[in-house]
Amino acid sequence: MTRLSEAVVYFKTPMSQTAPLIELKNIQKTFVSPGGDYQALKDINLTIRKGEFVAIMGPSGSGKSTIMNIMGALDSPTQGSYKLSGKNISNYTNDQLAEIRNKQIGFIFQSFNLLPRTSVLANVEKPMVYAGIPAKERKKRAMELLELVGIADKANNLANHISGGQIQRVAVARALAMVPSILLADEPTGNLDSQMAYEIMDFIKQLNTKGHTIVLITHEDDIAAYSKRIVRLKDGQIESDKVNK
């Protein structure tokens, strides 16, 4: 089996401590409903550079999910600009945003979002299928990624026939399939026991040490402690932005 350190080096992204990867400027998000408008984000200004590991924290209703959806090109701001890798994608069409999600952003969700009656290998291949990558290359890359996360022996298992921790490792492998600019982890340990949660976070931290940019959405202090920087939200605004020592 490929050693973790070797495999992570193979899939590492170009490292730069100076180039902004994410630039949110004066971001506002208002949801309109018959019961009245709700402003979820209020004048957010945030820059995340390549190679950073940033945790975004806050209580329920603070705007964590909304800022994640905007960063992940799942939604667009009502006002303000979002630059990803220097390109303003604030007003992109749904098709353009879908392409951004597929090629530049790797998602790791609390709910895993795997296809349960599909093999582990096929789940990891799925983003590459959408991108039109040839079958032989898809399989080779998927197997290397499963080696990376330590479950290549489960490649032919159905996704609903492996443990919760193994499922999350598959989700990490799938998130890396398109060699994304950014890994966006939304409460990635929420459905895991403490030991498995720490194992997954150790692995995510290793990815960051090899150059991957990580944005972690969490409400747990012990999980945020793995990051290098903690941004706290409250009532749709940034309450603090500090280096995590």
Residue 33: is its pLDDT beyond 50? yes
Q: How far is CA 208 from the centre of its chain?
A: 12
Going by pLDDT thresholds of 50, 70 and 90, the confidence category of residue 197 is confident
Residue 112: is its pLDDT beyond 90? no
**Residues 48-82: tens digit of each pLDDT:** 999 999 999 999 889 999 999 999 999 999 999 99
Structure tokens at 147: 């080696």
Residue 91: is its pLDDT beyond 60? yes
Separation between Cα atoms, residue 55 and residue 112, nearest integer Å: 19
Cα three-residue angle 170-142-195, rounded to 5 degrees: 25
Sheet with strand 87-88: strands edge to edge:
38-49, 20-31, 79-84, 87-88
Residue 15: is its pLDDT beyond 80? no
The ranges assigned to domains in the chain are: 4-243
Cα three-residue angle 160-179-128, rounded to 5 degrees: 55
pTM for the model stands at 0.83
**Domain 4-243 coded CATH 3.60.20.10:** no
Residue 142: is its pLDDT beyond 50? yes
**Residues 18-29: tens digit of each pLDDT:** 679 999 999 999
Any alpha helices (H) in the chain, and if so which ranges?
Answer: 4-11, 64-71, 94-104, 120-130, 135-148, 164-176, 194-209, 221-224
Residue 184: is its pLDDT beyond 60? yes
Separation between Cα atoms, residue 227 and residue 215, nearest integer Å: 9
- What is the average pLDDT across 22-38? 94
Separation between Cα atoms, residue 78 and residue 168, nearest integer Å: 33
